[in-house]
Amino acid sequence: MLVSIAWVPAALAGLIAIHFAQKRCFPYFWKDVFYLWKVIQYGVRLELYKKRRRVFTVLDRFVQRAEQIPRKPFVIYDGVPYTYRDVDERSNKVAHVFEEHGAAKKGDTVALLMNNEPDFISVWFGLSKLGCAVAFLNTNIKGKSLLHCFSCCGAKVLVVGADLLDMLEDILPNLLEHNISIWAMNAESCLPGVQTLLDKVERAPARPVPAERRAVTSLKTPTLYIYTSGTTGLPKAAVVTHMQSTKAAAGFWAYGGHADDIIYIPLPLYHSAASLIGVGGTIEMGATCVLKKKFSASQFWNDCRKYNVTIIQYIGELCRYLCSQPKSELDWQHKVHMAVGNGLRQDVWQEFHRRFGEIRMCELYGSTEGNLCFMNHVGKIGAVGRSNFFYKLFFKYVLVKYDKVRDEPVRNKHGFCIPVAKGETGLLLSKVNAQTPFFGYAGSKQLTERKLLRDVFAKGDMYFNTGDLMAEDKEDFIYFKDRIGDTFRWKGENVATTEVTEILGLLDFIQEANVYGVEVPGHEGRAGMAAVIIRPGNNFDGKKLFHHVLDHLPSYGRPIFIRIQELMELTGTFKQQKFKLVDSGFNPSVISDPLYVLDNVEKSYIVLTDAVYNRIVSGQQKL
């Protein structure tokens, strides 16, 4: 008897030894396996769609949920729950209105200009049920840029939220001239040429829209256009196919979310984070989301407590705002166990844990149009993602040496790029092929081409240039370092420097402008700065510049600092030299050129003195 069980302690000791060895040598083993299993499950699902030639889209999943769990709240907005059935029926009504009026049919593109509200989702789904592609317009952008967004996706119909009608004023004649039909989300017409939608929706029948209308046979069919400031020029419409929307909707699920979760969405729906990951992810799990019109740092945790929120969506800036709120003894009282987002820096990350408890922070790296995504599924502080041997089989990405001064990748004597060693910073490139296609931007082959880098390691190969400098450590964690070229982030939005340059160039006293972003202590991203050359015989006019940028640029795009230069420095390849300017910052006691700062109180650009500089750096003066 004794003999027969003698092996038990030995086996137990063996198992424990293996367990500890695994913990020491492969500390993330089980987390990696769990995550990889999810990735594989999802990959298999997508492959099946290809075989059956019938894609089960996020919208199909929504309709299915509306049948399975009709009475479950889908969206909670302003304290009011809207069930899966409510949104399903409302979107049917929207579809019937557009169909009856012959305003939109399968294959058309409809532009949507709305703030966060439940009807954003109903209109989006209603149009999708007719097989239309929907273009989400950023509600901050103005006149010329807005018109441009409109034309590049080929939309012939525009739906505008009731609270955004005044944005139309300047461009209304132009839109009508182009025969664009405009529908306002209100019941009484207030602008000539604009049709009302709300009254018609309320009268329309709620019966289902036949499923054939929305049926798609390929994952590569575009379903949305989402605007990004990409890297150059005016905003670009990134093509979002069912492949991307299906993958994004699996985000929460891949991180272990389930049907009981309550998701808090304070980000704008016109960005892919809130719409594709947030709303899509809610549907995928059959969960409930709490939608906010706007992010409010002071209401954030009260909302989380009130609605028993378990998952929050964030961007780095948002976490910083939350940390800078006055401390409260309620800080730890909430049920949030997971946060999914992007752009959280190490210092804020640690502070966030100290303030609000051990919330699992799930960083997700990927752009709307990109063909690569990283997930930091183990919650390693500071990392944007995690790779491993298997991941690299699915996603062919590489970090290559980058020359910041020349502003281009370093090439060897054969003209090919050079991969960096582990731990070194390099430009992230992602191979474009059949498994990881790049769908580019609507209506512009040229813009699409500019995001691609060819002949990287062999003649004829092709990579998507993310424009991000990253590093990968020995444990396969990936860290974001910097963004190159023509964009920077400010207040959670991408700013395209060329767009700002173009707007500044419209002023008579500016001969040339070079726009870039500078780091400001205590702020995420970079504050806009423009080095300008004054046209001979003219003077710098701070008031005029202030009103010009106010009229033409969204608040996050307005340069905060102006540096007057005599001469514009160029790179070896005759591009404007940004690197040195970025490095020299905005300190008036170091820079001899005249400096100005945007002042919202004076409604002008005023001289940046040492005193003002110190107030900004110490956080006393808000930017």
Ligand X SMILES: *[C@@H]1O[C@H](CO)[C@@H](O)[C@H](O)[C@H]1NC(C)=O
Q: Which spans of this chain sit near ligand X (rule: CB under 6 A)?
A: 178-179, 307-308
> What are the beta bridge partners of residue 152?
none
Rg of the chain over all Cα atoms, to the nearest angstrom: 26
Contact (Cβ atoms closer than 8 angstroms) between residue 430 and residue 464: yes
Start-end of H helices in 360-444:
389-394
Angle at 600 between CA 594 and CA 604, to 5 degrees: 45
- 595-599/338-342 β-pairing: unpaired
Q: How far is the CB of 305 from ligand X (least distance, A)?
A: 8
Residue type, 164: L
Angle at 38 between CA 286 and CA 74, to 5 degrees: 10
Angle at 372 between CA 371 and CA 377, to 5 degrees: 150
Residue type, 369: E
- Measure the CA–CA gap between 341 and 59, rounded to whole angstroms: 23
Long-range own/partner contacts, residues 591-594 (CB < 8 A, 24 or more apart): 591/563, 593/531, 593/563, 593/564, 593/565, 594/540, 594/563, 594/564
SS3 291: strand
Residue type, 151: S
- Measure the CA–CA gap between 118 and 100, rounded to whole angstroms: 23
Start-end of H helices in 204-344:
242-249, 251-254, 272, 280-285, 300-306, 316-323
Q: What is the DSSP letter of 281?
A: H
SS3 538: coil
For ligand X, the closer CB: 308 or 444 = 308
- Measure the CA–CA gap between 373 and 571, rounded to whole angstroms: 32
